[in-house]
Structure 1
Amino acid sequence: MKAFIKDIAYYLPERVVTNQELIKDFPEWSVEKVASKVGIQERHLVVDGETATDLAVKAAEQLFISGKAKKEDVDFILFCTQSPDYVLPTSACLIQNRLKLSTNVGALDFNLGCSGYVYGLSLAKGLICGGVARNVLLLTAETYSLHIHPKDKGNRTIFGDAATATLISTEGMSEIGNFSLGTDGSGAGNLIVKTGAFRNPQRKNDLFFDDNKTPISSDYLYMNGTEIFNFTLEAVPLLVKDVLLKNKIEQSDIGLFVFHQANKYMINVLRKKLKIEEERFFIYLEKVGNTVSSTIPIALFQAQKENKLNGHVLLAGFGVGYSWGGVVLNFG
């Protein structure tokens, strides 16, 4: 049994925050500085009361509109998010009900960030190749904006909210190849929200500002950019090498590389380190920002619109955890 990506769709919240709007809160920055630093012009953010589950449902509805994915065919839901509606029940169960899918579908959440889409593809392939399901609805949705302190200009500049929906089936436009997956939990503290779950259930209200006037608090998203950057430069080249090895192909055989869209500077450094030509390296950040687990499928959707998905396409996700994963997709 083989597993294929059959179709992809995505949804962006209606609220748009441009660089012009953002610098009103940070007048020491300019529109040009933001754009040149991270390669992002605008990002979409949820409004009060809007959750990752809401976004995921709308992404799924977009997928069904295409006609390639039918509600009655779905027999498993995988939902990747770090922003669930509740501690319990499982958000995927809520999604099943809201989409009015059959009660015979399996449904589960999994908590991963920037590597989540690749991990989701691996889970979906396992379900199909194991005979558990034939049509898996893989959803990714994140609302990192709700984790970010209003005065955290670095993270507010980078992150956007979004959701994607992918149908993985026994046939489709691209066969899912072999995976390379990795984890190093020793880096967990470098990208973390410390309070709100059972380790630290109560808010600590320990906000302070560092020498760069960046807010540091257990109650909001903390990212050690230097350590994340160093981890990425070390892990991703090894990941790419291992993915190529496991798929028994050479780097020159890859038609397009689609990495997690962290920020333009970081992924361009990776591109240069790996000696990948610009025309074989896809970037789609300007209108959406870093949407965490949704960056790769959004980029795939856009690359498909530009007719750039041909032959072997290598995906690489990496970030919070630390967690990383890669796979090769085979188009036609």
Structure 2
Amino acid sequence: MPNLSRITYYLPQNILTNDQLEKEYDSWSATKIYRKTGIENRHTAKGEKTSDMAVKAAEELFRSNPEITKDDIDFLILCTQSPDYFLPTTACLVQERLGLSRKVGAFDFNLGCSGYIYGLLLASSLIQATQSRNVLLLTSEKYCRYIHPQDRSTRTIFGDGATATLISETKGFATLDAFDWGTDGSGAKNLIVPAGGDALPCSSETAKEQTDDSGNIRSLNNIYMNGPEIFAFTLDTVPITIERVLKKASLEMGDIDFFVFHQANKFMLETLRVKLNISEEKFIIDMKDYGNTVSSTIPIAVENARRKKLFHNGAKILLAGFGVGYSWGSAILTWKE
């Protein structure tokens, strides 16, 4: 059974606070921003590339766990939607900078809020297929490069950051027991950077700014999020993937000791918690000082809970990621510490 072995994370030093945002947005106070999002601070990567953050997260994993060497790694997987280049693959750049063996397999995959679940699934599959023994899964996201400074709907929510997770054949603090996943591309338009790819190359036309009905300013080069549609999708989809992953693991809702969902925003999470009838003590919310770091939210929350010793030996933990794509996934872990 593949094991979740180690998690570390890196957050850029530059911090964007609610007090700073209050000075920029006339009608939004710091208190209002926190009340709507559950976020007080978010880190932004100024002068740092996605690969820089990924390397720093990985180097911290090796530094803080000297029993793990770079020679132990035989596969590198990097989840990002903000690659350094269209090509080459950012994972290849990270492999070279980390000094990993040239025998290491390395690739990127482009997923957002469900990305960590998919990464665990990919790593687990490589190990179960006996193609790997130790997989280094990196998540690194720099959404700030897509956000218009006058778009409150996204700037108040998203933060940048990276995580490193070691998935091992033999050793770890949790086993990876079951997975579920799904996709609905009909929702692609509701969380999107419209310009920049082959469908709509950047141009002077795509750079023209527009103001929406809520007073947010953005161009087609910036990220757009339809909050109400994303909210409705989440409330419809998350209960379904939870039901499916529980069935795959032969468990009931009451068997789960802790729930760690993608940290989208506090209001959405609390609505899900109430709908699913999950008690507060079982439900992890951990975004106040980071914001929505996309594919990095779940591993950051799990690692912080581990440091606080919130999880006990034998605990069943359900992870769920959901968002851009639309894409979603869930996983069940059994804690071993």
Q: Is TM > 0.5 for Structure 1 vs Structure 2?
A: yes
For 1:166 and 1:330, locate their aligned partners in 2 and report how far apart those are by CA, in whole Å. 16
Describe the superposition over 1:13-57 as per-residue Cα deviations: whole angstroms up to 9, x where unpaired: 010111111111112111111111111110100113x11111000
- Tell me which residue corresponds to 1:114: 113
**C-alpha distance in structure 2 between counterparts of 1:306 and 1:273, whole Å:** 27
Q: How far apart in 2 are the matches of 1:122 and 1:69?
A: 22
Counterpart in 1 of 2:10?
11
Q: Alignment identity in percent? A: 53
Distance 1:211 1:261 in 2: 26
Aligned length: 330
Q: What is the CA distance between 1:208 and its match in structure 2?
A: 1.1
- Which of structure 1's runs of 4+ aligned residues deviate more than 4 A? none
Q: Which runs of 5+ in 2 are unaligned?
A: none
Q: How does 1:47-58 map to 2 (within 5 A)?
A: 47-48=46-47, 50-58=48-56
Matched to 2:77, the amino acid is L
CA RMSD of aligned residues (A): 0.9
The yes-or-no answer on 1:313 pairing with 2:314 is no
Shift of 1:65: 1.2
Number of the residue aligned with 2:215: 213
Per the TM alignment, residue 205 of structure 1 is displaced from its structure 2 partner at its CA by 2.3
**CA offset at residue 216 of structure 1?**
4.1
The residue number in structure 2 matching 1:248 is 250
Q: Are the equivalent residues in 2 in contact too, given 1:69–1:167 (CA < 8 A)?
A: no
Q: Distance in 1 between matches of 2:102 and 2:182?
A: 34
- What letter corresponds to residue 289 of structure 2 in structure 1? K
SS at match of 1:235: helix
Query: In the alignment, does 2:44 pair up with 1:45?
Result: yes
Q: How does 1:1-332 map to 2 (within 5 A)?
A: 2-48=1-47, 50-67=48-65, 68-170=67-169, 171-203=171-203, 204-310=206-312, 311-332=315-336
Q: Distance in 2 between matches of 1:27 and 1:90?
A: 41
CA distance in 1: counterparts of 2:18 and 2:26, whole angstroms: 11
Between stretches 198-207 and 304-313, larger displacement belongs to: 198-207
Using the TM superposition, give the Cα deviation of residue 246 of structure 1 relative to its aligned residue in structure 2, in angstroms.
Answer: 0.8
Deviates more, 1:290-299 or 1:200-209: 200-209
How far off its partner does 1:178 sit?
1.1
TM-score (ref. length: structure 1): 0.98
SS in 2 for 1:139: strand
1:220 and 1:133 map into 2 onto residues whose CA distance is 38
Give 5+ residue unaligned stretches, structure 1.
Answer: none
Letter in 1 for 2:52: D
Measure, in 1, the Cα distance between the counterparts of 2:26 and 2:258. 38
Q: Give 1:115 shift.
A: 0.1
8 Å CA contact 2:153, 2:225 repeated in 1: no
Residue by residue, what CA displacement relative to the aligned partner does 1:154-179 show, whole Å, maximum 9, x if unpaired? 21110000000000001211100111
